[in-house]
Structure 1
Amino acid sequence: SFKATPTTEGDFFSEDRMNKTICPPVSFNFQHRFLPPVYILVFIIGLVANGWGLKSLLHNWKKLKIINIFVLNLGLADILYLLTLPFLMVYYFMGSKWIFGDAFCKITRFCFNLNLYGSIGFLTCISVNRYLAIVHPVRVMGRLTRTHSVAISIAVWLLVSVQSLPDMFYTKTFGNRTGKCYDTTDEIHVEDYMKYSLGWTLTGFCIPFLITLGCYGHIAVVLWTLKTTDNVQKQGSLKLLFILILLFSVCYIPCHVFKNLNLWSRVLLKQGSCCEWSNRVYIAHQISRSLACLNSALNPLVYLHANEDIPQVRQTFSRLSLSNSVSVFKNNKLSSIL
């Protein structure tokens, strides 16, 4: 029979007493060398960029448009996570020794999840908002207000919190002996956590990603087939699409793929199955975690492009719609829904 003896998170040493078969242990030195410099870089760039972006938004607080409210919440999610990075730097600099207690370990991991899935949620809101503003400007004219955007933002925070809350009930530390602060959980609960993680990935990432892809896919098709929109407007409208694809491709897709693969390899190792790819998956998982936190430094790009080119494109669509219904809208002037 196989016996699995855990040493640290994801590290299992499986031995067949009959055949003396030994599974090679997973190397954890990589994360201690790789993660701290990345966290330092993200902390500095993210704090400066998000601070500048939030200051710009709050400077014209009374003139905040709908899309700006979503961007504001995106920035708050980033700041919330960035403030926990110094503690994680200390953790990895000390060789994965957590000295801040079990409660704060869970809070730190919870803040990471709020940032990750809050960012995905608000980027999805921005995508839907731009879709409505560009493709259906007349249909939603005057129906979307800042009050609606505030209510939607609160709903996003609540949804993300509900999705992330079960994570806090899993074991995050391994007692005073090792002082670990797991980003998932220990080997005892790894099977249950993998099921939870798969469901979380579906609801927190896959569905918002498909919504975002659908919105910008439709926008791209409409803009490139509309003869009245010039190339400058088309290119400007597709800038944010490129940024969002970059964010999802670099920060979010690898994170979810390798997180679940790493959990699966841990389950197999616990059951006594040797996987030659376990060590490579673990290293890829650590790299993907650093890429996920990189979203806090890349999200400020949204500040620069979220509002760009909307007025011109909106006016183009508005003129087309008004020309077909002059009798209804002749005394109305289109107002911005953003």
Structure 2
Amino acid sequence: MKKPETPNGTAADQEDAHVSTPLDHGNHDSHGNHGPAGHSHSHGHAGHHHAHAPVAGHGRAFALAVVLNIAIVVAQTVYGVLAHSTALLADAGHNLSDVLGLLLAWGAAWLATRRPSARYTFGYGSSSILASLVNAGLLLFACGVIVAEAIGRLINPAPVAGLAVFVVAMGGVVINGISAWLFMRGQQDDLNIRGAFLHMAADAGISAAVAVSGLVILYTNWTWLDPVMSLLVVAVVVAGTWSLLRDSVRLALDAVPPGVDLQGIRDYLAGQPGVVDVHDLHVWALSTTGNALSAHLVMPAGHPGDESLDGIVLTLRERFSMHHATLQVDLGTTQHRCAMDHAPHAH
């Protein structure tokens, strides 16, 4: 997710921002939604402009990585069978899961650029969250397959052609290293791209370990090293996948995105002229790169005007990375409390 200190409001985003005022009284905005009196909506199409970046910058990266990984899967499968190498076959299986993961992440990144529809009024950005979640699942599933194969080979050892394993695995190191490098630029800011990067980086590490084991087996004939190396690499992959799985689950459950300063947002809104209270503040992820916010501002003096709310909305976008903000202005004469806040709790 984007860090709060990173400005994300482009000129196009700012020009598209729309704030409905009490004069709107139910007029429709550009998305076909009603703008009731006292509500401020910052659509700005930020979810669309912002989501274009991963596809524009990584479309070719996805295509190239998919082609390269398909090639290495074929090579590792063929030579894994010929060399009787469980590690090489396990690496091929892991690479195959990477191909599926890359296709999934690529499709989600493309969906995130689609405009909202009458049914999906927020667009399809959340598909990138689902993709990162499934990618984490694929990684863990692949690790399970590798462990099963490695244990089977430890129980029933077989001769391993060390030289063939070394050569093919080194090819995997190069290809996966290049693929990881293609996604390095965006993996800090986009959980979906991060999933693709982790896939490639993990495969590069696995291939390197397999290459080393092949070289050692060539000179020592320690065939047990082949499955043992697979188990060691799995431990590293699982450790690296845990954070991806954790963040994906949190975003899927509408938790506050990583890096978002919720208290800072509350303090900023509470400090605005005329605001005496802030309640029903909700922040969630629209995608792996875009955030949304809704809040009630209690302003006894009434609506401060479009220019004032425009300024708040712009600051929320630039300082706190809120790409879609909805602010409701309350006079404080009644208890405008969210129904979710009063939902019965399980005992």
TM-score exceeds 0.5: no
User: Could you tell me the TM-score, scaled by structure 2's length?
Assistant: 0.33
TM-score by length of 1: 0.34
Compare relative contact order (CA 8 Å, sep 6+) and give the higher one, 1 or 2. Answer: 1
Structure with the higher fraction of residues in strand conformation: 2
